[in-house]
Amino acid sequence: MADFVGAVDQGTTSSRFMIFDHGGNEVARHQLEHEQILPSPGWVEHDPTEIWERTRSVITTALNKANLSAADLAAVGITNQRETAVVWNRRTGRPYYNAIVWQDTRTDRIASALERDGKGDVIRRKAGLPPATYFSGGKIQWILENVDGVREAAEAGEAVFGNTDSWLLWNLTGGTDGGVHVTDPTNASRTMLMDLETLDWDDELLSLFNIPRQMLPQIRPSSDPQGYGLTRAAGPFGGEIILAADLGDQQAATVGQVCFEPGQAKNTYGTGNFLLLNTGNELVRSTNGLLTTVCYQFGDAKPVYALEGSIAVTGSAVQWLRDQLGIISGASESESLARQVEDNGGVYFVPAFSGLFAPYWRSDARGAIVGLSRFNTNAHLARATLESICYQTRDVVEAMQQDSGVVLDVLRVDGGITANELCMQMQSDILGVPVSKPVVAETTALGAAYGAGLAVGFWKSTEELKRNWNEDKRWQSEWNDEQREHGYAGWKKAIERTLNWVDID
Ligand SMILES: Nc1ncnc2c1ncn2[C@@H]1O[C@H](COP(=O)(O)OP(=O)(O)OP(=O)(O)O)[C@@H](O)[C@H]1O
Ligand SMILES: [Mg+2]
């Protein structure tokens, strides 16, 4: 068997291709950003064609860097930004509209009308989700209603939907020439259209959004020994490799962090933050603002579920300091700037740019910087930004403990922001629990590789994967309880100030 496994990680800000060896060590990677298209307040789009081009390019470049070819890869897995909706024509291969990104709030009226009309409960019960702009269902409905010709084409079976996993799998397996139209339960569980128990599209849910069933991809296991299809020799791999895993990015990171036991959790710090707690084969219904979601389904085994706390804006608040305010020139400068002051100087920043996600689910909220006095500087704002990442995490950790009764003894972290030592120290201070980071921090791509490798027998079991996990660094809390509670009380007041800002109806 070949010595390596590949993983495509199609993220919100960039696409990467990574190659791993049997020990789970990185062998090569290449990464390219794509444009964030922001046509009006609250709207966020990506160009699916650009994403496909960038994906091709990172695959070819990473293989070249490592001097490897298709024959060296035992399998390839894919992981992706979830919820982001692409609708394309399966005959021409052309998208009808830009991808509507998970952060986009244009469907707020669709979401609030569902709640107002009493449909919220059926969505919560079947899909495990509250009606919100975040998920794919409303985005598909918006495209069907606002782009000429799509509804007719969808009824005729020509216009099809996918998240970026499906879009790339279709293209990698030949596109208009026999491409497969598939997804997995972790991605499907983010649409508001799948029943969590049957793992199938649900007619009642489809009717709420008026979406024709034939638009939707076939749902296949997240790690599939049969494979979804083969890459094409004419494509970026230059040969035929089995595509054998598909996991939403946050579920992939949970797999990459080897959280295979009920009660284990990870928190990924990227564009947003996503805390997932493995709840095993049990579907746990949240009463505290968390989502119930599919964690993974390996082969014909029963699905494993998770409770999830999704936070829309964390790393993107750091990018906002850089791109919109211009007070730092790179993300890592947020740390040196924040270190110029000892504390937040009374300033709290709630980056509710897309409303508030977990545990609040308030699309009427917008961002606020509060507590300002003449004394404050950019350094306080940088500090408040890093603190906002940690306080939002505390909000979801509290909700998770209430829902599950699981008390965290350590928080396993990964993602781009974990390079920020100050932020990780603050996280431990604000939570009062140790924070632990693994050697391979690219857990998202690693999880997709694990799924693909398990499918083809490159790795024999999850036990084998657990042995690949090693701690790189651990942070211990340095705050006392009084500091912690005082700081958190300020955060809660700041949250109050962001609510009821946008009039939706
Ligand atoms: N040293 C740092 N301090 C603070 N934030 C950082 C630092 N380095 C990176 N970031 C932030 O981390 C994010 C990138 O992390 P990562 O690459 O894990 O993101 P991601 O969520 O995987 O991206 P995508 O959503 O495209 O998949 C960016 O938003 C960036 O602002
Ligand atoms: Mg990512």
Is the distance from the beta carbon of residue 212 to the nearest atom of ligand 1 less than 6 Å?
A: no
Return per-residue pLDDT of the chain as tens, 505 residues: 799 999 999 999 999 999 999 999 999 999 999 999 999 988 999 999 999 999 999 999 999 999 999 999 999 999 999 999 999 999 999 999 999 999 999 999 999 999 999 999 999 999 999 999 999 999 999 999 999 999 999 999 999 999 999 999 999 999 999 999 999 999 999 999 999 999 999 999 999 999 999 999 999 999 999 999 999 999 999 999 999 999 999 999 999 999 999 988 899 999 899 999 999 998 999 889 999 999 999 999 999 999 999 999 999 999 999 999 999 999 999 999 999 999 999 999 999 998 899 999 888 899 999 999 999 999 999 999 999 999 999 999 999 999 888 888 889 999 999 999 999 999 999 999 999 999 988 899 999 999 999 999 999 999 999 999 989 999 999 999 999 999 999 999 999 999 999 886 6
| DSSP letters for 48-81 | HHHHHHHHHHHHHHHHHHHT--GGGEEEEEEEE-
Q: What's the pTM value of the predicted model, to 2 decimals?
A: 0.92
Residues with CB under 5 A from ligand 2 (ion): 11, 249, 270, 444
CA count, 13 A, side-chain hemisphere, 400? 29
Strands 86-89 and 159-162 come out as: antiparallel
State residue 408's pLDDT score: 86
Cα–Cα distance for residue pair 42/268, rounded to 1 Å: 24
44, 318, 353, 383: residue to mutate for ligand 1 pocket, most atoms within 8 A of CB = 318
What residue owns the CA closest to ligand 1's atom 30?
A: 315
Alpha-carbon distances, residue 119 vs 143, 288, 504 (angstroms): 21, 19, 18
What residue owns the CA closest to ligand 1's atom 5?
A: 417
337's torsion region: left (phi>0), alpha (psi -120 to 50) or beta?
A: alpha
Which segments of 254-364 are extended strands (E)? 265-269, 273-280, 291-296, 304-311, 348-350
* 269 alpha carbon, closest ligand: 1
Query: Are 87 and 95 in contact, with CB atoms under 8 Å apart?
Result: yes
State residue 505's pLDDT score: 65
Distance from the alpha carbon of residue 273 to the mean position of ligand 1, in angstroms: 10
Is the distance from the beta carbon of residue 11 to the nearest atom of ligand 1 less than 6 Å?
A: yes
Is the distance from the beta carbon of residue 271 to the nearest atom of ligand 1 less than 6 Å?
A: yes
The closest alpha carbon to 179, from 213, 218, 225, belongs to: 218
Q: Of all atoms in ligand 1, which is nearest to the CA of residue 268?
A: 18
16, 55, 417: residue to mutate for ligand 1 pocket, most atoms within 8 A of CB = 417
Distance from the alpha carbon of residue 346 to the mean position of ligand 2, in angstroms: 32
Distance from the alpha carbon of residue 409 to the mean position of ligand 2, in angstroms: 25
Is the distance from the beta carbon of residue 428 to the nearest atom of ligand 1 less than 6 Å?
A: no
Tell me how far the alpha carbon of residue 101 is from its chain's centroid: 11
Is the distance from the beta carbon of residue 277 to the nearest atom of ligand 1 less than 6 Å?
A: no
What residue owns the CA closest to ligand 1's atom 28?
A: 315
Distance from the alpha carbon of residue 417 to the mean position of ligand 1, in angstroms: 5
State residue 129's pLDDT score: 94
* 444 alpha carbon, closest ligand: 2
8, 13, 17: residue to mutate for ligand 1 pocket, most atoms within 8 A of CB = 13
State residue 409's pLDDT score: 84
Distance from the alpha carbon of residue 12 to the mean position of ligand 2, in angstroms: 7
